[in-house]
Amino acid sequence: MIDSHPEHLPEGPEHLPEGLIRPVIRPVVGSAVKPVVRSAVKPVVRSAGEKIPEMYPGTPFGAMHRMLKNHQDICLRGSWGFAMTFYAWLKKKITSLHPIRGYESSRRQQEALKAILAGFWVPVEEHRVALEKAPGNPWLRSFYPNNKSFLINFADLLGMNGARQWFEKGIRYPLLNHPIHPFYGVYFPTRHEHLHLLDNWLKEHNPFQRAVDIGCGCGVLSFILYKHGIRTIHATDINPNAVYSFRQDLQRLNHHMHETVSVEEANLLGSFRPSPNDLVVFNPPWIPEKPKKILDTAFYFEDQFFDDFFSQMTETCPPGTTIALIFSNFSLAAGIAAEHPIEQALQDHQEHFSLLSRIQQPVTQKASRKKSWIQQVRNKETVELFVIRKV
pLDDT digits (tens, 9 = 90+) for 131-174: 999 999 999 999 999 999 999 999 999 999 999 999 999 999 99
Nearest of 173, 188, 186, 193 to residue 330 by alpha carbon: 193
Tell me the residue type at 75: C
pLDDT at 303 over 50: yes
Confidence at 18, pLDDT banded by 50, 70, 90: very low
CA–CA dist 2, 189 (Å, integer): 10
Contact 278, 247 (CB under 8 A): no
Nearest of 216, 324, 195 to residue 270 by alpha carbon: 216
Contact 98, 112 (CB under 8 A): yes
State residue 254's pLDDT score.
64
Tell me the residue type at 76: L
pLDDT at 3 over 70: no
Average pLDDT of span 65-76? 98
Which residues, 6+ apart, have CB-to-CB distance to 320 below 8 Å? Answer: 276, 277, 389, 390
Other residues' Cβ atoms within 10 Å of the Cβ of residue 232: 16
Contact 110, 287 (CB under 8 A): no
State residue 25's pLDDT score.
34
Average pLDDT along the chain: 89
CA–CA dist 66, 332 (Å, integer): 38
Contact 57, 82 (CB under 8 A): yes
Average pLDDT of span 175-199? 94
Q: The whole model's pTM is what?
A: 0.88
Confidence at 389, pLDDT banded by 50, 70, 90: very high
CA–CA dist 282, 265 (Å, integer): 15
Confidence at 220, pLDDT banded by 50, 70, 90: very high
CA–CA dist 310, 350 (Å, integer): 10
Confidence at 366, pLDDT banded by 50, 70, 90: confident
State residue 354's pLDDT score.
97
Nearest of 298, 324, 346 to residue 212 by alpha carbon: 324
Query: Highest-confidence range of 21-35, 36-50, 88-102, by mean pLDDT?
Result: 88-102
DSSP 80-114: HHHHHHHHHHHHHHHHHHS--SSHHHHHHHHHHHH
State residue 28's pLDDT score.
38
State residue 365's pLDDT score.
76
State residue 20's pLDDT score.
37
Helix (H, G, I), strand (E, B) or coil at 235: strand
pLDDT at 90 over 70: yes
Q: Report pLDDT digits (tens) over 256-289.
A: 787 889 999 999 999 999 999 999 999 999 999 9
Domains of the chain: 46-166 (no CATH), 185-390 (3.40.50.150)
CA–CA dist 239, 242 (Å, integer): 5
Report phi then psi at 187, rounded to 5. Answer: -70, 135
Report phi then psi at 242, rounded to 5. Answer: -65, -40
CA–CA dist 266, 215 (Å, integer): 9
Judge residue 222's burial from the number of C-beta atoms within 10 Å of its C-beta, 0-12 exposed, 13-18 middle, 19 or more buried: buried
Helix (H, G, I), strand (E, B) or coil at 198: helix
CA–CA dist 67, 176 (Å, integer): 49
Percent of the chain with pLDDT over 70: 89
**In 302-347, which ranges are E strands?**
322-328
State residue 253's pLDDT score.
84
Question: Would strands 128-129 and 54-55 be described as parallel, antiparallel, or unpaired?
Answer: unpaired
Percent of the chain with pLDDT over 90: 80
CA–CA dist 84, 92 (Å, integer): 12
Confidence at 229, pLDDT banded by 50, 70, 90: very high
Q: Which of 39-48, 170-179, 246-255 has the lowest mean pLDDT?
A: 246-255
Contact 268, 311 (CB under 8 A): no
HSE-up of residue 164 (Cα within 13 Å, Cβ side): 19
pLDDT at 15 over 90: no
Sign of CA dihedral 131, 137, 141, 144: negative
pLDDT at 34 over 70: no
State residue 380's pLDDT score.
92
For the chain, state the CA radius of gyration. Answer: 23
State residue 305's pLDDT score.
97
CA–CA dist 27, 366 (Å, integer): 35
pLDDT at 95 over 50: yes
Average pLDDT of span 314-326? 98
Which residues, 6+ apart, have CB-to-CB distance to 338 below 8 Å? Answer: 332
